[in-house]
Amino acid sequence: MERMSMVKQPLRKLVLMPDEHIPLTRLALLFTVAFLCGVSMRLSIPFLAFSSREEFQTSMLIVSLLTVGFFSLRAVMSMIAGYLAEQKGMLVVLVVPATILNAVALALYIPLHSPALFIALRAIQGALSGLTWPLVQLVVACLVPSYLRGRTLSLYFAMGSLGLYLGDFLYYLVHDMGFEVGLALSSLIYLASVPLMYWGMRGGLPYAQEKSEDSVDEENVVDHDLKIVHCVAILGLVNNMIIGICTGSVIYVFMREALGIGRGDVALVLALAQLLALIMSYITAWIADLFTEKMVFIVLAIIGMNIPILLSAGEVTLVLLALAAASLVQKSLIPLTRRAATTYTRRRAMAVAEVNAAMNIGVCAGQLLFATLYDYVGLATVSLTNAKLLLVPLSFELLSLPYAITLVALLRAMRKSITQ
């Protein structure tokens, strides 16, 4: 079947057929970058969170700003990066310097040792990450045919998840060595990714203009594509408000105070959750192979809606399951949303940027809401069927309704686009 051409964009390259060359070396380099940067970023977070909370005695709201500052600036810059990539074709020019500056920012935490400066540096890192990762994801997606994008992005994010696992485990091993050693190590690991990033981002995008065979016709593309992208963005926002409480800086402090365990043990539990989620992700991959990606969306939504209940139990095993479920939903939903953004639309860079920005905003909103409630309510509990549940995480169960409504709208839009 002859593939339909897309509207000309500045990033336009020759459209290759699926049996032609796929640049495996570049993919391997970018997968390695995701792994190394995952290790580096995850290693730094508990050092900053525990230092702010325990050394400087800050509120949970201040601790949450470490994550909010990062994700809010990343959301803004991801939109700018998408525009520059789409209109100017600026990939290596943006990504490589941003990666270098991110490594420098990690080193600056050592001399600039205060909560206010921590927040400022995290915001700078967020802006730099916004210039980096949407473009890297776009390149990864456009290095393979559309029918391989889901699997390729899943593998890319799996490498990042392995990095997160190793980052938490590395913190467990080195947390007694002190703040300076931890941040210096984090900076060096991030810096090691720079040459790999440079070579991985160089070159063309052989499948940048390829359109999937189940996408809409050219004359119908605008209305349906926009609806799908917007639904994906809203779904990502609501989803990340829920699972966002299981990520970032607040979860380290929450687990230490709610479970009464040590800092190293907190990181170890989070590392085990990452590993468990990686194993569980094969289940969603099996569902996607056996059924459709729509079924995966439904399964992930059901899991996501139950995370607040598990987290509110305040027991190590159930909290571990909640963290693993949150990580599973995140690592499974991200490639699904990115694949939808790059398959059902012509403006792929902006679509990825919009979805990325919405998911970042969701994390920010979830973190701020959780931290504010925690500062006022603390570890207060409510009794339900003879079980005492922590009120703050349980309150996030209220987001299940907008989650379900948005999911239904997305599935309808996807079905309508395919039948056009």
How far is residue 27's CA from residue 24's CA, in Å, rounded to a whole number?
A: 5
DSSP at 55: I
How far is residue 159's CA from residue 278's CA, in Å, rounded to a whole number?
A: 10
List own/partner pairs for 120-126 with CB under 8 A and 24 or more apart. 120/69, 122/48, 122/65, 122/66, 122/67, 122/69, 122/70, 123/69, 123/70, 123/72, 123/73, 124/73, 125/70, 126/69, 126/70, 126/71, 126/72, 126/73, 126/74, 126/77
Type of residue at 133: W
Q: What is the pLDDT of residues 216-271, one digit of tens each?
A: 444 444 445 677 888 888 999 999 999 988 888 999 999 999 999 999 999 999 99
How far is residue 76's CA from residue 134's CA, in Å, rounded to a whole number?
A: 12
Provide mean pLDDT across the span 209-213. 52
- 168 band by pLDDT with thresholds 50, 70 and 90: very high
Provide mean pLDDT across the span 166-183. 95
- 126 band by pLDDT with thresholds 50, 70 and 90: very high
| pLDDT score of 175 more than 90 | yes
| pLDDT score of 338 more than 90 | no
Burial class (CB in 10 A: 0-12, 13-18, 19+), 301: buried
How far is residue 297's CA from residue 285's CA, in Å, rounded to a whole number?
A: 12
By percentage, how much of the chain surpasses pLDDT 90?
A: 50
Identify the residue with better confidence: 339 or 35.
Answer: 35
**293: three-class secondary structure by DSSP:** helix
| pLDDT score of 164 more than 80 | yes
How far is residue 277's CA from residue 280's CA, in Å, rounded to a whole number?
A: 5
Average pLDDT, the chain: 84
Identify the residue with better confidence: 204 or 351.
Answer: 351
- What pLDDT is attached to residue 210? 56
Q: What is the pLDDT of residues 38-67, one digit of tens each?
A: 999 999 999 999 999 999 999 999 999 999
How far is residue 90's CA from residue 85's CA, in Å, rounded to a whole number?
A: 5
**326: three-class secondary structure by DSSP:** helix
Residues 6+ apart with CB under 8 A from 4: 211, 217, 218
How far is residue 259's CA from residue 192's CA, in Å, rounded to a whole number?
A: 36
How far is residue 222's CA from residue 287's CA, in Å, rounded to a whole number?
A: 30
Q: What is the pLDDT of residues 4-16, one digit of tens each?
A: 333 333 433 434 4
Residues 6+ apart with CB under 8 A from 242: 304, 305, 307, 308, 326, 366, 396, 399, 403
Could you tell me if 367 and 68 are in contact, meaning their C-beta atoms sit under 8 angstroms apart? yes
| pLDDT score of 324 more than 50 | yes
Could you tell me if 38 and 102 are in contact, meaning their C-beta atoms sit under 8 angstroms apart? no
Sign of torsion, CA 143 144 150 154? negative
- What pLDDT is attached to residue 417? 66
| pLDDT score of 19 more than 60 | no
- Angle formed by the axes of helices 316-343 and 146-174, nearest 10°: 150
Query: Cα torsion for 85, 90, 93, 96, to the nearest 10°?
Result: 30
- 172 band by pLDDT with thresholds 50, 70 and 90: very high
Q: Which of 200-209, 219-228, 260-269, 376-385 has the highest mean pLDDT?
A: 260-269
Identify the residue with better confidence: 169 or 137.
Answer: 169
- CATH number 1.20.1250.20 is the correct assignment for the domain at 24-207+215-419: yes
Rounded to the nearest angstrom, the gap between the alpha carbon of residue 109 and the centroid of all alpha carbons in its chain is: 23
Query: Domain limits of the chain?
Result: 24-207+215-419
- What pLDDT is attached to residue 161? 84
Could you tell me if 63 and 249 are in contact, meaning their C-beta atoms sit under 8 angstroms apart? yes
